[in-house]
Structures are given as structure tokens and as C-alpha cells.
């Protein structure tokens, strides 16, 4: 399975929505509990953001590769989690 890395900022409205949707997607899909998931607060971990060459928040990476940056929908988050999960169960 691929690791999901999610970059967020606490005062970013799209990030707040994305965080809520991440929680919902994980709650609605208990099989995703087995995924490696890391949420990084950019305001507290700028070095990690630079390491990933972060351009905007919210941003999602799978195994270090950008898969989405900027405003996001719940459907996009579901797709990211599904891709990560299926990569280990194919």
C-alpha cells in the first residue's frame, strides 16, 4: 500500500474542509485504517513541506508523489484513499 501524506494549514478554509472529509472517508471505510497516513501541519513543519516541494495547501502525496494540490472535494479524497488501498491489494 502507498503512504498518503497530507499537508494542511490550520487557518486555511479548504484545509479545514479537507481534514473533515479525510475523517469522514476513514470513518466510512474502516479498511483504510490499515493505510499509512501522515498529516503535516505546514505551519509547524516547514522543513518537511520544503522537502516535498510543497506549492499549496491542502496537498496530498502518495509515496512522495503529488496527486492533488489546492481545493479538494470529498470525492477526490475518496479516490486518493482508494488508490492507496488498492495498490497494496491488487
Quote helix, strand, coil % in the chain, to nearest 5: 45, 20, 35
Query: Which residues span the domain enclosing 72?
Result: 4-87
pLDDT of 88 reads 75
Spatial separation of the C-alpha atoms in residues 17 and 8, rounded to whole Å: 10
* Cell numbers at 55, concatenated: 506549492
Q: Specify the CATH number for the domain of residue 77.
A: 3.40.30.10
Confidence of residue 89 (pLDDT cuts 50, 70, 90): low
pTM over cut 0.75: yes
The total domain count for the chain is 1
Amino acid at each position: 500500500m502507498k503512504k498518503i501524506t497530507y499537508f494542511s494549514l490550520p487557518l486555511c478554509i479548504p484545509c479545514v474542509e479537507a481534514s473533515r472529509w479525510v475523517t469522514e472517508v476513514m470513518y466510512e471505510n474502516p479498511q483504510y485504517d490499515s493505510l499509512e497516513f501522515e498529516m503535516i501541519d505546514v505551519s509547524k513543519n516547514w522543513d518537511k513541506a520544503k522537502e516535498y516541494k510543497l506549492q499549496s495547501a491542502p496537498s496530498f502525496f502518495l509515496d512522495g508523489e503529488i496527486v492533488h494540490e489546492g481545493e479538494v472535494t470529498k470525492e477526490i479524497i475518496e479516490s486518493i484513499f482508494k488508490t492507496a488501498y488498492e495498490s497494496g491489494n491488487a
